[in-house]
Amino acid sequence: MRKLFFTLFLPLLAATATAQQADWQRVHAMEEEVLDSIYDISNVSASFFEGSHYLYYSQYGRYQIVDALTGRQEPLIDDADDFVSQYAHLTGDTTLHADRLRFYGLTLPYGDGRCFTWTARGHQLTFDRTIQRLSIADKPKKEQRSGGYDFHDNSKTTTDSLFTMLGDRYNLYVRDNRSGAITQLTHDGVDYGSYCFRSAKDTIMTGQAAGEWHGHIYIDFVQDDSKVGDLYIIDALATPRPKLRTKKMPLPNEEHVRQYRLFWYNADTREGRLLPVSKFKDAEVKLSFAKTGDWLFFTRRSRSVDTLELCKIYLPTGKITSVIQEVSKPHLNINLFNYHIINGGKHIIWWSERTGRGNYYLYDANGRLLNRITHGDNLVADRIERIDTVARQIIFLGHGNEKEAFDPAYTYYYKASLDGRRQQLLTPGNGTHDIVFSKDGKYAIDSYSRMDMPPVYQVVSIDNPKRVFVFAHQTDSLLRCHGWQPPVLVDVPAADGTTHLYGVMYVPSTLDKTKKYPIISNVYPGPQDDQLPRRFSLDDNANQSLAELGFIVINVQPRGSSPLRGRDFYCYGYGNLRDYPVADDKHTIETLAARYPFIDLSRVGIYGHSGGGFMTVTAMLTYPDFYKVGVAASGNHDNNQYIQWWGETYHGLTKPGGIPTNMELAPRLKGKLLLISGDVDDNVPWASTLRMADALIRNNKRFEMMVLPGKDHGVWSPYYVNLIRYYFLENLLQPTTRDVDILHHR
């Protein structure tokens, strides 16, 4: 543990302190790296004994064994000192210590808890718990297999070795291995649209072709970016001279976007052709890799992202049949949608938001709906964790169905029968859950937590979910002794007065409720993810350490930010990609100020990264008298210059340049704004930040800008974190007036 306890109760300096007088010791004492070293002392590490209903876990250097059938637990080893002594005597290894035992890969040779075995230092060790005795045996050597190894590329040669697919840089050639004859099959391969691996050479070689054989049928799926526009990045730090990086990046509403080709070839009939997979103009096509005999499944999605079809190809003939069509307005939930082909292609598990909330449905191979699998008026079904076709059930993640949950986006696990007749909660407890299954899938270790509660560990019976036993808790007691406190869970109404919004509020550990504190909103609008912490974490996004400077810091999701709360919530911002989240953020701050008199509404700050940087500038320019200080990092201020799928999905198809931009609002800036970007960002290119800067300059606006050389979209670093701290400290904690119009001095 780091020796930082002398900072425990040092008083936070008054809000009138200068930046140089800030209590940086307290700030750094509340950073994640420091807190982790304290918190990890109570860390719980749990695993199942292989092939058993017993599990073992360690905490504070001690191991316990737990019977998942009864919940009964007891020490794995009665006397750790004696155990270490026996171990050292048998192995000669003196590095094992009684107060920090470490075991990996424990097994129970008899299936019960009488003894356990593991491998260490090349030996097989067995500890008999009934007599507390350790024994040793040489680790058995693995049998060496010899002969029969096939050195040819199986994916490019048929299993009967009759045909091999070859390739040059762009095109396919098939070789009849009986005659040695080579025939060229394709002629339209190009750079960024090749039937072969891009690393291929012009020479015709085996292993170059990108597809695979299905019997004597060859399938090659091509993602063609040959007409997509280029993105250019200058790496100024490259040596010996700056280097140009180029990548393909389609922009919203551009004519040329990725195209898809599926080449089918029958070696027996020598027939080859492109299959008509792109029913919709500029469709997105994705192949399934499920093993389904003579059938190959794929999906095709319209460019407007509101129509999706599941199709199947009959491999012997190449005939395509549409199986299921899904239409969802204004757009599909592309984050949660998934499907599974089961029983060799006889059945399909299909995710749909047709009720307004995502659920799973069972179809037959011909696209006939058999039944709904998952149920719950408020349930949003997430990914499937396990499918048991023998027991005919699935285990899946879900959100919004449990009344005990503070936040409807908390994650729970359920099992449901494929016939839809039974669904059961596997993981009770108010928080977000994560589970690890035993190898046989009959039990699971579940840990759940919230931002204000460290993890609780329980063992769950999959067959009998009512048999849940809590076996351990991780504790925050040492953190509290250090002066740390958990953030406050927040539930506030949105600007519509009815929709509930959730989040967290961080306050200084020396909060004086009789004083007034500036408030800073840490924002990220989604829509694909709200980036709100829901598991227990320390100083998430450095917000607690920021609060220690004398701020109230909040992170609350706006409407439109999360795909986990149903279609109406998720699609709130559709067609209004710039402005949709800012009214909720302002209303949240005003609501919290009414609840907590220590919040000062005259000193409001906002900051964020990526979409959060974009939202920061939007908020400051939409409500220029409300937000006084902002820090916007790596912001996509012009979504017409951002990646195609994002803008077209969440705003809709428009004319080129049809998505509103922050640049249009530049004349409205009144507050103090810092723009930050890395110069080699190939996610949100820093051209977006430069365009924002240009718009502000053209409107005579004063602002600050920091370029981080060599940084891509992930700008996080101690320097970046402290840029944010200093900017708010110097401009929000001690607000000063200055001219905003740099030409007219006003």
Residue 138 has a pLDDT of 62
Q: Quick: pLDDT tens for 664-708.
A: 999 999 999 999 999 999 999 999 999 999 999 999 999 999 999
- The radius of gyration of the chain from alpha carbons, rounded to an integer in Å, stands at 30
Q: What angle do CA 699, 704, 709 make, to 5 degrees?
A: 120
Per-block average pLDDT, block size 10, for the chain (746 residues)? 36 40 92 95 93 92 94 96 94 88 88 91 91 82 43 73 96 97 97 88 88 96 97 96 96 97 98 96 93 93 98 97 97 97 96 97 97 97 97 98 97 98 98 96 97 98 96 97 97 98 97 97 96 96 97 98 96 97 98 98 98 98 98 98 96 94 98 98 96 98 98 96 97 88 87
Whole-prediction pTM: 0.93
Pairing of strands 599-609, 629-633: parallel
Predicted local confidence at residue 7, as pLDDT: 36
| pLDDT recorded at residue 101 | 87
State phi, psi for 363 to the nearest 5 degrees.
Answer: -120, 160
User: Residue 561: which of 552, 553, 551, 571 has the closest Cα?
Assistant: 571
Domain definitions of the chain by residue range: 45-138, 487-733
Q: Residue 184 is encoded by which pair of tokens?
A: 């060229």
Is CATH 3.40.50.1820 correct for 487-733? yes
- In which residue are the tokens 């095109």 written? 171
In this prediction, residue 735 carries a pLDDT of 84
Instruction: Give the contacts of 427 (CB within 8 A, at least 6 positions apart).
Output: 412, 413, 433, 435, 446, 448, 458, 460, 468
What pLDDT does 200 receive? 72
> Which pairs count as long-range contacts for 173-176, CB under 8 Å and 24+ apart, including other chains?
173/204, 174/218, 174/265, 174/267
Report the pLDDT value the prediction gives residue 139, as an integer from 0 to 100: 53
> Are the CB atoms for 449 and 475 separated by under 8 Å?
no
Q: Left, alpha or beta for 458 (phi > 0: left; psi -120 to 50: alpha)?
A: beta
Identify the bridge partners of residue 172 per DSSP, sorted by sequence position.
Answer: 167
Report the pLDDT value the prediction gives residue 738, as an integer from 0 to 100: 86
Distance of CA 304 to the CA centre of its chain: 24
What is residue 51's predicted lDDT score, i.e. its pLDDT? Answer: 79
